[in-house]
């Protein structure tokens, strides 16, 4: 773990030991607050910058639409649920989990379902939110299936996305359902095209 801190290494290590999420600790009721605090720690500057850019890319699109309060609730809830989901799936792990990625994926799910045609610059080049959402979920599922990048908690990303999707239905059930239908239609269309051209 590379500690992102301007504090001395010894002090930084203590902070990460206390506030990073460790599933095996949480299961035994230790460092319970870490299910929240882990979101505000990052492994290194690149980790922080990537999450910050991603949050800006999807957050600015949806916060104006749903309001800062509901946006904040979904962000925090997605992060907490992502941490709990990661813990349930890795009960014996003592590896530290840090970063706001699960919460960011929750925000992505908001845009994905509530504003599917809004352009988001998550991939530098602005793309419709439904396409960005499908790409990111596909990447995460593929990473889990093929066990790529084992130091990244892809399970937490997907759980955070699912939590954000639930948040979208909480905010506006009708718009969220419409967004889900759009996403499902795109998946079916892509599948039909792939079959037609013998790609799968």
Report pLDDT digits (tens) over 6-51. Answer: 567 777 788 888 999 999 999 999 999 999 999 999 888 888 899 9
6 within some domain: no
156 within some domain: yes
180 within some domain: yes
7 within some domain: no
- pLDDT at residue 124, rounded to an integer: 76
Contact 39, 153 (CB under 8 A): no
Number of folded domains in the chain?
A: 1
Alpha helices in 34-147 (DSSP H): 34-37, 45-66, 68-89, 101-114, 129-145
Report pLDDT digits (tens) over 133-164. Answer: 999 999 999 999 887 666 789 999 999 999 99
73 within some domain: yes
Confidence of residue 54 (pLDDT cuts 50, 70, 90): very high
Closest listed residue to residue 51, CA positions, set 160, 179, 129, 141: 160
31 within some domain: no
- Give me the domain span that covers residue 187: 44-90+99-196
16 within some domain: no
4 within some domain: no
Confidence check: pLDDT of 107 > 60: yes
What is the pTM assigned to this prediction?
A: 0.91
């Amino acid at each position: 773990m590379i500690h992102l801190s301007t504090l001395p290494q010894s002090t930084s290590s203590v902070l990460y030991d206390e506030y990073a999420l460790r599933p095996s600790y949480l299961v035994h009721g230790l460092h319970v607050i870490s299910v929240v605090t882990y979101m505000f720690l990052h492994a290194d500057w690149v980790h922080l910058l990537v999450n910050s850019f991603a949050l800006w890319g999807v957050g600015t699109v949806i916060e104006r639409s749903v309001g800062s309060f509901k946006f904040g609730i979904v962000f925090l809830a997605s992060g907490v649920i992502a941490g709990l989901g990661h813990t349930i799936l890795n009960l014996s792990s003592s590896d530290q989990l840090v970063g706001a990625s699960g919460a960011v994926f929750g925000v992505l799910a908001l845009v994905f379902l509530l504003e599917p045609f809004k352009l988001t610059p998550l991939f530098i080049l602005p793309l419709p939110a439904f396409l960005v959402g499908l790409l990111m979920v596909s990447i995460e599922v593929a990473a889990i299936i093929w066990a790529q990048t084992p130091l990244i908690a892809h399970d937490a990303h997907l759980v955070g996305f699912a939590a954000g999707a639930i948040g979208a239905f909480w905010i506006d059930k009708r718009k969220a359902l419409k967004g889900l239908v759009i996403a499902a239609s795109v998946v079916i269309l892509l599948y039909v095209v792939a079959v037609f051209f013998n790609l799968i």
